[in-house]
Chains A and B, each alone.
Chain A
Amino acid sequence: MDIRFEKVDFTYQPGTPFETRALFDIDLEVKAGSYTALVGHTGSGKSTLLQHLNALLKPTSGVVTIGDRRITPETDNKNLKPIRKKVGIVFQFPEAQLFEETVAKDIAFGPKNFGVSEEEARKLAAEYLALVGLDETYMERSPFDLSGGQMRRVAIAGVLAMEPEVLVLDEPTAGLDPQGRKEMMEMFQRLHDEKGLTIVLVTHLMDDVADFADYVYVLEKGHIAKCGTPQEVFADVSWVEEKQIGVPTATAFAEKLVAKGFQFDYLPLTAEDLADQLLALGGLSHDE
Chain B
Amino acid sequence: MMNKLIFGRYIPGDSLIHKLDPRAKLIASFYFIGIIFLANNWQSYLLAGIFTLGCVLVSKISLSFFIRGVKPLIWLIIFTVALQMFFTTGGQVYWSWWIFTLTEFGVTNGIFIFCRFILIIFMSTLLTLTTAPLELSDAIEYILRPLKVVHFPVHEISLMLSIALRFVPTLMDETEKIMNAQRARGVDFGEGNLIQKMKAIIPLLIPLFVSSFNRAEDLATAMEARGYNGGEGRTKYRKLDWHLRDTVTIVIFALFTVGLILLRK
Contacts and interface: CB of A to CB of B under 8 A. Distances in A.
Q: Judge: A and B partners, yes or no.
A: yes
- Which secondary structure dominates chain B's binding surface? helix
Contact of B180 (A91, A144, A159): A91
Contacts of B168: none
Nearest to A87: B184
B2 to A, nearest CB: 10
Interface string A148-185: 00000000001100100000000000000000000000
B191 to A, nearest CB: 8
A36 B132 CA distance: 43
A110 to B, nearest CB: 4
A10 B180 CA distance: 17
Contacts, number: 60
Interface in B198-233: 202-203, 206-207, 210-211
A110 B11 CA distance: 40
A99 B210 CA distance: 9
Which among B178, B184, B206, B211 has the highest number of chain A CB atoms within 10 Å?
B184
Nearest to A91: B181
Given A16-B3, A18-B3, A99 B207 contact: yes
A81 interface: yes
B174 A85 contact: no
Contact of A99 (B11, B188, B206): B206
A42 to B, nearest CB: 15
A84 B186 contact: yes
Contact of A56 (B3, B180, B207): B180
Interface residues of B, number: 22
Given A16-B3, A99-B202, A144-B210, A81 B186 contact: yes
Interface string A89-103: 101001011110000
Contacts of B203: 97, 99, 109
Given A16-B3, A56-B183, A96-B211, A81 B188 contact: yes
Nearest to A111: B186
B185 interface: yes
A159 B202 contact: no
A99 B187 CA distance: 13
Contacts of A51: 180
A282 interface: no
Contact of A96 (B3, B65, B178, B186): B178
A101 B125 CA distance: 43
A133 B188 CA distance: 30
Interface in A40-68: 51, 54, 56
A18 B129 CA distance: 13
A87 B65 CA distance: 39
A162 B203 CA distance: 17
Interface of A: 12-13, 16-18, 51, 54, 56, 81, 84-85, 87-89, 91, 94, 96-99, 109-110, 113-114, 144, 158-159, 162
12 contacts: A81-B188, A84-B183, A89-B184, A94-B181, A97-B178, A97-B181, A97-B203, A109-B203, A110-B185, A144-B210, A158-B185, A159-B184
Interface of B: 3, 11, 62, 65, 174, 177-178, 180-188, 202-203, 206-207, 210-211
> Which 7 residue pairs spanning A and B have beta carbons closest together?
A113-B186, A99-B206, A97-B181, A110-B185, A89-B184, A91-B181, A99-B203
Given A81-B186, A91-B180, 16 more contacts: A12-B3, A16-B3, A56-B183, A81-B188, A84-B185, A89-B181, A91-B181, A94-B181, A96-B174, A96-B177, A96-B211, A97-B203, A99-B207, A110-B185, A113-B186, A114-B186
